[in-house]
Structure 1
Amino acid sequence: MTKGELIESIQKSSNGLSKKAAEEVVGAVFSTLSKALKKEGRVAYPGFGVFTVKKRKARKGRNPKTGEAITIKPSKTVGFKPAPSLKKSL
């Protein structure tokens, strides 16, 4: 599902919500999720799942072009664990 499809789906499922308002709602939800992940490191939505910030350690890799060994810096990423009810419904 694309952002546009999500906005259309929200607009159709709501009563009288304009496409512009639905787009603002989607933007606000994802903006709030991003801020909460940065601040707290975890966002849980019952019945859907839990988003967490995960830390990756530095590791060794290879430059695919030259084959030269390189060190990949430590980084952060977002992990998602689905709720049992969501997982069961798939």
Structure 2
Amino acid sequence: MVRSDLIDRIAEENPGLSQSEVEKIVEAFFSAIVAQLNAGGRVELRGFGAFSVRSYDARAGRNPRTGETVAVEAKNRPFFKPGKQMLARLNGGD
């Protein structure tokens, strides 16, 4: 599912909202998550999961094609941990 599919599905389930209104809501939702993660915070959606940021230190890597050692910069990456209810649903237990 891509963003447009999500917008279409929400619009179908909420006939009182226009497509553009749903699009604004979805964009605001994603922007709020990104802003919280940028601020170093965590976003927890009960029953769904939690988004957080993991930091990775700089390290020496290797170019697989040439075997040459290259420097890999430190970086932050988003991390998602599914909630218990989501795991139960995915594994057949509603």
Do both proteins adopt the same fold according to a TM-score greater than 0.5, normalized to the shorter chain?
yes
Q: In structure 1, how many angstroms separate the alpha carbons of the residues matched to 2:62 and 2:17?
A: 51
Number of corresponding residues: 90
Deviates more, 1:23-32 or 1:65-74: 65-74
Q: Give the TM-score taking structure 2 as reference length.
A: 0.88
| RMSD of aligned Cα (Å) | 1.1
> How do residues 54-69 of structure 1 correspond to structure 2 at under 5 angstroms?
54-69=54-69
Greater alpha carbon shift after TM alignment, 12-21 vs 63-72: 63-72
> Which shifted more, 35-44 or 23-32?
35-44
Tell me the amino acid that sits aligned with residue 17 of structure 1. L
Identity %: 38
SS in 2 for 1:53: strand
User: Stretches of 4+ moved more than 6 A in 1?
Assistant: none
Cα deviations across residues 15-65 of structure 1 (Å, max 9, x unaligned)? 321111111111000001111111242111111111011001122211234
Alpha-carbon distance change, 60 to 40 in structure 1, aligned in 2, over 3 angstroms: closer
Match of 1:18 in 2: 18
Counterpart residue identity of residue 31, structure 1: S
One-letter amino acid of the counterpart of residue 10, structure 1: I
